[in-house]
């Protein structure tokens, strides 16, 4: 069928406006694009019907408040919980929000006996991948936990969205299956983005002149993705998921003249081949985003009526049986990724998303004395990496425990016995000491090094041990249970990190304390000097791959601080800045501050003290250091500032388990 004549006329007007000088979205800044996108909404989609609406704020995992809008079908019984469509708007992760999709959500709520909960997830480039997915998952968890208090039936839920909102909806469905959570009744996907690459025949056919253009799509994804490797992640491209079985039924709406139509067909075929009931509704003559073009083409209103019927039918199905709570933890012994899952006392360890062997355990969670038993299910041998992952997860699950009881094959315990982390008892059971286990570098360092030989040298008039070559790549990796994110420290790559470093150094909050404002040339020179200095290593901190801060770790004996703290041969120190404002909250500080200390202690077993010298007027930093175990020793004067000397002892760090926040929650909720 040819392009609908009303759409053809509309697109001709859009092309004429661009010829007369109107900027395409891909030439705008994100802020300009959002303004333009929102201003066009009333013209393209009008005002939706009057329905009861409530503004809500949902809490994200990092403490941010996510605006949401709850629409209710008018005339529904006030005492009866309403089934709920959890809806995510489109806009390429860069534009769009509650207002741009207000008419659509109002109409669906008006025509369906249900509630629609629309979520204003955070946008790029301010919030890059996977923030939008995390916000979507947090919204689903909020709905499950708090929806009942708002008159919602939390057992009858549908995940839905258009364009990248459809991507979030189906990725959320995959995540629910992986975490053992209950599946929604339906996944409602309007022309979703599903492919790793935008290189299908339909992308070439409709690359320009059909509303969603190839240049706009890549502009959006370039703002959202941190690097090209993010394209391989199923949270961005669901077609990259290895296994789509066990998902909720899918209803997929596609438009004939949409660049995404081919990947929509491909995704529907993958779902069907995985045994997922899938209905595909193809709208001839339509373009991408036509569901929001009610003032342009009548097909938009017809689609809304059809969607209301689809929703109503799905809400009549019996709710899925609740899945048992599953707690998920990620471990990285010897740099290998493992997913640890705990449900109903059964603990499994395996590589995430892979079909390789899994080890099975029973975890007896008696208060203060957890007992971990290998069940031999799945194989006669127990890889040591599985053992290490299971132990770390158990300590993370029970942060109050100083020891755990262990039943595992003696041959798998040899190395742990040799280093003193495990003790054998007469009853053939073993126990693992938390204080000792957390001193094993191989749990958190990809390539731990043996202590460098003791030889002395002179540099700048100071006698000190000869230091090993500086590391490269990821030097530390740790899953943070209360964030359900993985923290890494990576050595600075100037070409990759310079623009971010430059932006951070010119942030007013950072500049107040670091006083290193400047342009790219100045900051390149700065980082090159750090790279050339054998006593200092520059690191970038990341949460789930997203850069949040810069760290300089150094050998104290060669540093300017040495005269003020009588530095020992292997004492270490660090400086830090958190460049991204949203990572400056307490949940993140309690993750990175103990972790940088932990890294320095396990990097060399001879390190007995860590020193730090923040400005004496940085009371917030000094108070945070105190909560993380640093003693406030004294104030002293550098030529450029008055500083506070803080000291953390190795013995105290491990004996008091200071990697665990001293107040607040320390483990992730079930299924996080």
Per the CB < 8 A criterion, the answer to whether 171 and 206 are in contact is: no
Structure tokens at 650: 């190795």
Return the bridge partners of 487, or none.
Answer: 478, 543
Structure tokens at 432: 């693992």
Q: Of the residues 288, 398, 523, 598, which is catalytic?
A: 288
What distance in Å separates the CA atoms of residue 64 and residue 79, rounded to the nearest whole number?
Answer: 31
Q: What are phi and psi of 411, to 5 degrees?
A: -65, -25
Angle subtended at Cα 182 by Cα 181 and Cα 188, rounded to the nearest 5 degrees: 115
What is the SS3 string spanning 413-473?
HHHHHHCCCEEECCCCCEEEEHHHHCCCHHHCCCCCCCCCCCCEEEECCEEEECCCCCCCC
Per the CB < 8 A criterion, the answer to whether 255 and 183 are in contact is: no
163 included as an active-site residue: yes
330 included as an active-site residue: no
Distances (CA, A) of 49 to 74, 110, 305: 10, 7, 13
Helix (H, G, I), strand (E, B) or coil at 590: helix
Q: How far, in whole angstroms, is CA 357 from its chain's centroid?
A: 26
| Distant-in-sequence, close-in-space partners of 53: CB < 8 Å, separation ≥ 6 | 69, 70, 71, 72, 106
268 included as an active-site residue: no
- 117-137 in b/e form (b: 16+ CB < 10 A) is bbbbbbbbeebbbbbbbbbbb
Per the CB < 8 A criterion, the answer to whether 297 and 285 are in contact is: no
Q: Of the residues 45, 120, 258, 262, which is catalytic?
A: 258
Inter-axis angle of helices 494-505 and 520-532, to 10 degrees?
120
In this structure, the number of other CB atoms found within 10 A of the CB of residue 527 comes to: 19
What distance in Å separates the CA atoms of residue 463 and residue 135, rounded to the nearest whole number?
Answer: 52
Return the bridge partners of 278, or none.
Answer: 250
What distance in Å separates the CA atoms of residue 62 and residue 51, rounded to the nearest whole number?
Answer: 32
Q: Of the residues 62, 101, 102, 163, which is catalytic?
A: 163
Distances (CA, A) of 639 to 401, 561, 577: 46, 12, 21
Which positions are catalytic?
163, 258, 288
């Amino acid at each position: 069928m040819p392009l609908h004549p009303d759409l053809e006329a509309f697109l001709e007007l859009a092309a004429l406006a661009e010829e007369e000088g109107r900027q395409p979205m891909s030439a705008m800044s994100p802020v300009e694009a959002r303004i333009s996108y929102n201003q066009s909404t009333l013209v393209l989609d009008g005002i939706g019907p009057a329905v009861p609406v409530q503004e809500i704020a949902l809490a994200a995992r990092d403490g941010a408040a996510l605006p949401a809008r709850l629409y209710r079908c008018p005339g529904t019984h006030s005492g009866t919980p309403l089934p709920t469509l959890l809806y995510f708007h489109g806009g390429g992760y860069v534009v769009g929000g509650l207002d741009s999709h207000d008419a659509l959500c109002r109409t669906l709520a008006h025509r369906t006996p249900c509630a629609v909960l629309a979520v204003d997830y955070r946008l790029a480039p301010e919030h890059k991948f996977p923030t939008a997915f995390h916000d979507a998952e947090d919204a689903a968890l909020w709905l499950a936990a708090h929806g009942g208090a708002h008159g919602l039936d939390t057992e009858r839920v549908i995940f839905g969205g258009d364009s990248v909102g459809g991507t979030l909806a189906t990725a959320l469905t995959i995540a629910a299956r992986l975490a053992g959570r209950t599946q929604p009744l339906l996944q409602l996907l309007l022309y979703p983005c599903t492919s790793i690459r935008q290189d299908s025949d339909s992308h070439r056919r409709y690359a320009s002149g059909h509303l969603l253009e190839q240049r706009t799509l890549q502009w959006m994804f370039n703002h959202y993705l941190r690097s090209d490797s993010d394209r391989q992640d199923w949270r961005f491209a669901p077609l990259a998921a290895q296994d789509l079985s066990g998902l909720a039924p899918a209803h997929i709406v596609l438009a004939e003249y949409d660049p995404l139509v081919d990947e929509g067909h491909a995704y529907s075929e993958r779902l069907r081949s995985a045994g997922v009931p899938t209905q595909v509704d193809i709208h001839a003559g339509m373009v991408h985003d036509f569901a929001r073009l009610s003032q342009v083409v009548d097909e938009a209103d017809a689609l809304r009526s059809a969607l209301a019927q689809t929703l109503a039918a799905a809400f009549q199905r019996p709710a899925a049986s609740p899945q048992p709570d599953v707690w998920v933890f990620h471990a990285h012994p010897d740099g290998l990724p493992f997913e640890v899952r705990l449900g109903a006392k059964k603990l499994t360890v395996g590589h995430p998303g892979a079909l390789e062997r899994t080890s099975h355990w029973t975890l007896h969670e008696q208060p203060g004395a957890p007992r971990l038993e290998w069940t031999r299910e799945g194989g006669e041998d127990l890889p040591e990496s599985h053992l290490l992952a299971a132990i770390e997860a158990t300590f993370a699950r029970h942060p109050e425990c100083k020891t755990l009881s262990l039943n595992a094959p003696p041959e798998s315990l040899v190395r742990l016995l040799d280093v003193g982390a495990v003790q054998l008892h007469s009853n053939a059971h073993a126990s693992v000491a938390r204080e000792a286990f957390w001193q094993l570098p191989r749990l958190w360092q990809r390539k731990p090094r043996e202590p460098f030989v003791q030889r002395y040298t002179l540099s700048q008039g100071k006698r000190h041990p000869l230091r090993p070559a500086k590391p490269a790549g990821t030097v530390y990796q740790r899953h943070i249970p209360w964030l359900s994110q993985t923290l890494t420290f990576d050595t600075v790559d100037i070409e990759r990190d310079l623009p971010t470093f430059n932006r951070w150094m010119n942030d007013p909050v950072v500049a107040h304390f670091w006083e290193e404002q400047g342009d790219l040339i100045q900051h390149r020179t700065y980082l090159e000097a750090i790279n050339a200095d054998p006593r200092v290593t520059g690191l970038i901190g990341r949460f789930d791959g997203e850069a949040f801060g810069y760290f300089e770790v150094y050998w104290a004996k060669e540093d300017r601080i040495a005269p003020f703290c009588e530095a020992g041969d292997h004492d270490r120190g660090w400086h830090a800045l958190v460049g991204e404002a949203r990572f400056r909250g307490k949940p993140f500080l309690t993750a990175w501050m103990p972790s940088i200390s932990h890294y320095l202690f396990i990097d060399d077993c001879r390190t007995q003290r860590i020193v730090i010298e923040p400005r004496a007027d940085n009371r917030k930093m000094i108070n945070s250091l105190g909560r993380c175990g640093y003693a406030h020793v004294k104030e002293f004067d550098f030529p450029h500032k008055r500083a506070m000397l803080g000291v953390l002892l190795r013995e105290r760090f491990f004996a008091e388990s200071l990697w665990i926040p001293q107040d607040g929650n320390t483990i992730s909720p079930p299924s996080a």
